[in-house]
Structure 1
């Protein structure tokens, strides 16, 4: 049986769904004050959300090459190994 998200989880998932193609948000942006909670929600959700658009605050990627390929396909700019947060981040 699928887990029904509580209000806090639902709010995080709604913020993740709202990130448009070609942009990113940091874990702390979608879960203010508790960025690790956003990671936990993403790790356990069975809902279809654009998880690849959520990155660390410094632009580094939690899911490596797979995540980078999805972001590059959407046109997200990089500076070396990290997302260019000045250009791609939606606060």
Structure 2
């Protein structure tokens, strides 16, 4: 997978504020590149350094095999959930009886965040076209570790 795509997906994941989520497909749409499977592959292989629990399936299900760890983060961040969060995850391999309430928890970026997201997506577009110059704002932009520069 292209390094630029990996960096872009991780940069978007870092922007998601506590208590909010985006689906794999949401991130692909914001980047205007790839799809849910590509974003999922990036998160699976490289997502441990970012708030991975904030990137979920469109159904509201937490990342596979990490439901218990994700639930602890959701509770700590007061992420909107639905279902029974007190029941332990089934040992049979079935999904837990809770999910993130996507309708309430989906992150809707404001203008400042949209500008950052546009710059991240622009780097991907410009990296694909080597004869175009990357805008200085996008090239020098680095996403702070806490997500929103605060």
Q: Quick check: TM above 0.5?
A: yes
Aligned length: 87
Q: Which has the larger radius of gyration?
A: 2
Pick closer, same or farther for the CA change 1:57–1:46 going to 2, 3 Å: closer
Out of 64, 72, 85, the position equivalent to 2:102 is: 85
Q: What 5-or-longer segments of structure 2 have no aligned partner? A: 84-97, 109-150
More helix by share: 2
**Does the residue aligned with 1:59 lie in a helix, a strand or coil?**
coil
Give the 4+ runs in structure 1 shifted more than 6 A. none
- Please give the TM-score of this superposition, normalised by the length of structure 1: 0.85
- Give TM-score scaled by structure 2 length: 0.53
Q: Which has the higher contact order (CA 8 A, sep 6+)?
A: 1
5+ residue gaps in structure 1? none
